[in-house]
Every structure is written in C-alpha cells, then in structure tokens.
Structure 1
C-alpha cells in the first residue's frame, strides 16, 4: 500500500484530502504545518507528499526540498491557489511531479496522485529492467531470462566447449548471429577472427570468390589476388548465415574444402591450408530442404554435428520488457533523447504482441518510439498500429494472471539472488543494481521480501 503525507494548514482541506485518498486505498498521514511535515519526514518514508505551497514559516518548497533530500524518488505534488511562473519553474527544478490548482475536484486529486505514482513506478521499473538486462547479457550480446533462453544459453555453452560444427535453426530476426558470436567468444577460439558471410545477400556469381578468394586475373577486374573468407577466418570461426541459400554446386565445393582443410582460390591451383570452426544458420525447414535436395545431405551431416534451435520472441514473451528497456536505453543515447521508461499500457501492448519479425522488429519498434515519442515515457500512441491493436484484445484476466505468474516471479527471483550475492545488505545490493536504495526497498515490499541491513 502506497503511503501518502498530506501537508496543509487549512484543516478542512486537510481532512477532505485525507478522506478521499484513504477511501482510494492509500495509507494516509497528515501534517498541519510545514514545520510538522519536516519532523514527520525525518522519522518516516513516504511514496507521495502532497503539500500546500503557501504556508507560514516553512513553505511547500521547503517541504519539497526536505522530501527529496530524504528520498529522491518521493513523488511531491504541490497545491496552490496562486500559481506563478517563477514558483512553477523553481518547483520543477527541485523535482516536483505536478501542480494541483485550487479549487480541485476529488477526481482530480485521485488522478494526480495515481498518475504521478504510475510515472514513478514506470521509471523505477525501467531502471530495474536495465540492471537486469546488463546482468542477462551473454558474451555474444544475447539477452534473456526466460526458460527458453536459459535452455538456449546452456546449449550454447555446451557447443562452445567443443570444436564441432554447429547449425543454428530459427526464424528471421531471432538473433542467430548473436548466438554464433556467443559460441565463438565462449570457446577456445575467442580473440581470434569471427567472420560472418550472409549467403543470401551476395549474388551466386560472386559468392564463390567471396568465400574462396581469387588470384589476380581470375576474372575481369581481378587486378590483384584476394584472400577469401575461409582464409580470413583462419584460427577462428566462420558463420555461414542462411546456408540454404547457397546453390548445391557451391555446397559441393565447400564440402570438399571442409573435408580437406584446404582452399583453392578462384583462378589458382595451389591449396592453402586453413583452420576454421564452421557455424551455419538458416531460417528454412531443414528437413524439407534435405528432402527437396536444395541442401546437400553430406554437407548437412558435416556441419550440423550440433543443431541448436533459437526460439522466436513469441515463445519467450517474458523477455520482451527486458529487451525493450535495453533498446530504449540504447536509442535514447544514440538520438540524444531522454526517456525514463514505458507506461503500463505500452508495456502491456509490447508484451501481448506476437512479434512475427522477432527481436529485429522489437528493436525497430523501440527506435521508432524514441524518434516519434515526446517522452519522458513511451506511450501507447508511440507504438505501431499493429502493436497498439494487441493491447486491445479481450483476454485481460488471463493476460494479467500470466503477467503476475511469470514476469513478477522472475523479478522476485532476480531480487532475491541479488540480495543473496550481497549478504542481504540493501545498500550494497542497490549500488550493485544501479538503483536507489528506496527503490529497492519498495520492490522488496512489493514482493514480500524481508529486508536485510
């Protein structure tokens, strides 16, 4: 339950505000003067401070400064019947969340408090998600905390421990190249070349020379010799992205090079030895490609010693808020914008949507929101129409049940583990997570985690 301190020297106004907010489900404490409020703030912490601006001796601005000194994350709302530009600017500089102009309705009072709290929660959740994202990184840059991704990380670690060929299978945009980089950077070949070749992006007539290299004069415009990617990747890893786009004749040449450990440049005759680990990826149905002979079985069995499925984003929706926070931080920095998180409605839209374009589509969506949005929070209106429509589906009860069961469980597990790593010390844990101590304490209360020191 959120705790609110109401500071007002008009007793009738003080009682009315207290009754309205108590009926709205808040825990309310009152102070009849600014001086009394300073004493209360020294002894207790509050989520919201609602204070009159004009009071004798100790003003609302004095209460604002004291509340922010006690806890920078406290939401402070000022009440006044005499607004001025100078006062408003000073209040915003000091960190006031909102102004309420007298007279105001009970509905305006409730809305002001709820909206201010929603903004703070969004900001805190964003900071917490960024902290989780930093800890959820793999060496190759994959991010995830879902069961599907934990299984993937385990498979990638096992693949990194040996030097066998790997085939990564998954839809477009799932992060297959990042998975390949993770294997490389976790293996004994880390620190050596990692070379990626997109077989779908290079015309067939150029692909052979790109892969095997060529000698001077091998074809028109070949004025000097050039090492192919097999030579450039020597000692390291070569990723053949979208392997099934390679023609069967070229697959046969690749197979021969693999089996011999030697490459002959186009237009050359001397074999050149190479030592490369092969990783291939495809978004095709491998079994169908084999049946229809678009993928050579002998090459498949040579490369796919280990086959790993990279899950689509719709199968790991609990990772969507984590990824969204990571991309929001990345693009806010890239575009010089200030964003503090997502509204709850925007997060619901992002989590409900099925993401046919997977992580690539989510990245694009967040970049678009940063360029279009006004901030400081990403709103539903900043998202593409298809993502917005996902938030209007009528499975509200089932969705929120899933959200509580899955997302909040992961959040609680992360908090518990972080506290354990810091021997239960709240201050050290908050510092390690990069969040304010009061934010951590609020999240601990939310999840019923008993406090340490």
Structure 2
C-alpha cells in the first residue's frame, strides 16, 4: 500500500479532539496519509492555535469540555470565512452535525471514525480549500468539477432538470435551487449563469451561514462605492449573485436586501449615495424556504422575492447509471492531481456504488474515491478499496424499508423488558463497543460519563 505525499501547498490542518487516545490515533492516521495536523485539546486552545496558524481545514469535535463546538466553528468561520470545518460527532448526536452543516460546516464524520473515511474527508476539504477560499469570491471551478455535460449524466431526473435550466436561464427571474447536502447545487447555479445572457460577467457566491451579521452585511453591501471595496452585490453587477442559505441572514439584513431588490440599488454600509445594481439572483439551500418562513427564519417579504423559480437537484441515489459515469470522471481527475495511475472502476465496485444510498451525495462519492486514490496505487478501483460500511452492509434497502427493518429488530430485542432494563442493555452495549471506555460510550450516547458511572454502580451492586 502506498500513501500520498505530504501536500506542498501552504495549508495547515487543525485537529480539535479532547480525548488523548483519539487525538493520537487520528493524528497518526492523517500523518501516515501525508496530512500532519496541529492538535488542540479544548476550545480555548483550538481558537488560540487557529488564530496563530490560520489553518485552511479544521477537524472539530462538537463535544468539548470547555466550549460548545458550534460556537468555536462560528468564531473560526467569522475570522476566516473560507475555512473548511469538518465536524465530528458521536452516533447519538447526528442532529447536531446536520445543524452544523446547515450553518456552514463543510462535512461531518460520525464516531467511531474509519481510517479511510477520515483521510478521504480531509483530503477532499484540503483540495477544495486550495482551489477556492473566502465567503464571497467569483465562483471558480474546483479540481473535481466535471464538464457540465458529464455532470448532468443521462438519468431521467437530470434530463428533466436540464430542460428546466434551459427554460429559465434566459429569464431575469430569481431561481431557488433545492437539494440535499452535496448534490451539486452550486454547479447547477453555475449552469444557469453560463446559459444566461450574463455569462460573460461574474457569478459571485456568498454563504450567509459563514459570517456573523455585521461581517455579512459588509460582505454583501460593502463600505463605499469604490470598486476595490465594493461588496458582493456590487461585484455581481451585470452578472449573478448566488446566496447560500439566505434564511441565516438577520432580520435587519433580510429587510435591507428586500429594499435593494425593490429599488434596484444598494446603499453602502458606511453610508453614501445609492449605487445602482443590475444582477440576477440565485439562491440555494437544503431546507425548503417555505419551511424556513413558517419557522420565522426567513421573512415573508424576502421569501416571495427569492422563491420564484424552484429547481430541485435529485440525490445521487436516484441517478442510476450516472453514479458510475460520475465516479469514472472524478476518479480520473483525482488520480491526476495525486500523481496516481487510476484509470477505471471495476464492475464489482460499480455495482456496490449503484446500490449505496449516498446520503452525502457527490461529496461522499468524492471522499470515497479520494481515499482509494490516496491509499492505493491503481490502476483499477476495485471493491476491496471501498470503505467497509459500503462493502459489508446491505445497500439495497430504501430509507423507509431500512427503518422498518430496524424497528422490527428493536421490537424483537426489547420485547418483555422494562424501560430500565432496556436502558441498561443500551448503555452496557455502548461500553462494550468502545472497549470498556466509559467516556467514549458517554460521548456516543450524548450523556455525562458520571451518569454512566452512577448507573453502573447501581446495576452491579449486589442485592442485599
């Protein structure tokens, strides 16, 4: 087995993990793959090292002893908007990780971490950071971008999407792109822009989740009418402005954007005369804007100005044979970047990929391919190079069927037991999964270690 050479570009990796044994393990795995990391054991140390080294990628455990992981992520991304943050969470805290991705995290990993998953996620984040940093730059290609025709593929769902793109591209109407995490929403935005009459001008992207309110206001509206300090709205003049997660703007900032869209001009943050702007507006998000409006996160005025033409990007698991074509295209580009000889995907690997659920969509596919390229020489990607959870787990169930199977198994395992007995079995099973480590079991179950110690004392106390 060969490993990737250490990256030559000046991008540092920060690993934030408070459990010494896990920190040591993750650091060793990453170093072996060519990605040595700076380590921190708590929130205060993480922020201090982030300020000192300004890493491009951060591996961040959300459960730290002195500070909430979401607070740390928010501070890091406000200080350096282009930072790729990969959050790490226990199996029982996946909702927190999903919330983190909604608020700007690049990716998330669930403990226990497989070596290949860890390396793939970090390698992908480092490569994307190298290609494009900052919260509001002209939208650039990444090393993984396929020719648009290859990206679209030939599935019925994507052909229908292509037809809609062709129909709306020439219009000035705002477009709202919906889709799961990692489906390629920004690529679809780029397609709309490239097929529009504004294709010769820039498409400027702003992630509204990545900055605090004051910084986001300055990024959008600028501080003066001078071109060198103009905000993203002014830089998109004549072109397209892409807003990611507009529901994460503050109410005041949403109202200001509504006024800009109504008048066709913007007023710099520091004051001054209104500046005319002529831009096409595209938004993208995972959550439906109607849901965000009902929850009070998106104003009604802004909702009706943004949600005019909806485009839905299908998840990768619904794209059939496109999965193999996409894998082949990404594989060639990743291999070229890493200096490897990978040229093809074997039939057995392709069959497993088509059955996989791909909850991380294209981002997960790229991670899977990247870790294979990093850890193996090629020239063919075979099933043995895929992560164990793909090759050992049944992938043919859809989400509902999988849940039904889990429910039936749970009922069989708990039938006739009291709630206290069910709790005891769940806790003791978690301890066993982590080799007897109560702190690690507690992290998985999202409870305090002292709770487990207290309960275990009761369970193991001899009856008098």
TM-score class, shorter-chain normalisation, is: 0.5 to 0.7
Pick one of 356, 381, 387 that aligns with 2:384. Answer: 381
Q: Looking at both structures, which has the greater relative contact order when contacts are Cα pairs under 8 Å and sequence separation is at least 6?
A: 2
Pick one of 368, 371, 379 that aligns with 1:368. Answer: 371
Q: What corresponds to 1:327 in structure 2?
A: 330
Question: How far apart are residue 391 of structure 1 and its match?
Answer: 6.1
- Residues 214 and 228, structure 1, Cα contact 8 Å, conserved in 2: yes
Q: What corresponds to 2:310 in structure 1?
A: 307
Q: What corresponds to 2:345 in structure 1?
A: 342
Question: How far apart are residue 247 of structure 1 and its match?
Answer: 2.1
Structure of larger gyration radius:
1
Question: How far apart are residue 374 of structure 1 and its match?
Answer: 3.0
Asked if residue 357 in structure 1 is aligned to residue 360 in structure 2, the reply is yes
1:432-443 superposed matches below 5 A: none
Question: How far apart are residue 341 of structure 1 and its match?
Answer: 1.2
Residues of 2 paired with 1:250 and 1:239: CA distance? 16
1:73-112 superposed matches below 5 A: none
Residues of 2 paired with 1:236 and 1:230: CA distance? 10
1:13-412 superposed matches below 5 A: 139=148, 142-215=151-224, 226-390=229-393
Residues of 2 paired with 1:241 and 1:361: CA distance? 20
Question: How far apart are residue 352 of structure 1 and its match?
Answer: 0.8
Residues of 1 paired with 2:165 and 2:281: CA distance? 14
Instruction: Kindly provide the CA deviation profile for residues 245-271 of structure 1, in whole angstroms up to 9, marking residues without a partner as x.
Output: 222221111110111111111111310
Instruction: Kindly provide the CA deviation profile for residues 177-232 of structure 1, in whole angstroms up to 9, marking residues without a partner as x.
Output: 1101000000111111110111112222200000000149xxxxxx9971000110
Instruction: Kindly provide the CA deviation profile for residues 14-63 of structure 1, in whole angstroms up to 9, marking residues without a partner as x.
Output: xxxxxxxxxxxxxxxxxxxxxxxxxxxxxxxxxxxxxxxxxxxxxxxxxx
Instruction: Kindly provide the CA deviation profile for residues 122-167 of structure 1, in whole angstroms up to 9, marking residues without a partner as x.
Output: xxxxxxxxxxxxxx97659733210010011111111102111111
Cα gap change, 1:169/1:393 in structure 2, threshold over 3 Å: closer, same or farther? Answer: closer
- Residues 332 and 338, structure 1, Cα contact 8 Å, conserved in 2: yes
Question: How far apart are residue 393 of structure 1 and its match?
Answer: 6.0
Residues of 1 paired with 2:317 and 2:395: CA distance? 18
Residues of 2 paired with 1:346 and 1:154: CA distance? 31
Residues of 1 paired with 2:382 and 2:165: CA distance? 36
TM, length-normalised to structure 1: 0.53
Cα gap change, 1:347/1:205 in structure 2, threshold over 3 Å: closer, same or farther? Answer: same
Residues of 2 paired with 1:185 and 1:140: CA distance? 13
Residues of 2 paired with 1:160 and 1:245: CA distance? 26
Cα gap change, 1:225/1:351 in structure 2, threshold over 3 Å: closer, same or farther? Answer: closer
Residues of 1 paired with 2:178 and 2:335: CA distance? 32
Residues of 2 paired with 1:201 and 1:390: CA distance? 35
Cα gap change, 1:140/1:273 in structure 2, threshold over 3 Å: closer, same or farther? Answer: farther
Unaligned runs of 5+ in 2: 1-144, 399-464
Residues of 1 paired with 2:150 and 2:252: CA distance? 35
- Residues 345 and 391, structure 1, Cα contact 8 Å, conserved in 2: no
| Matched residues, number | 254
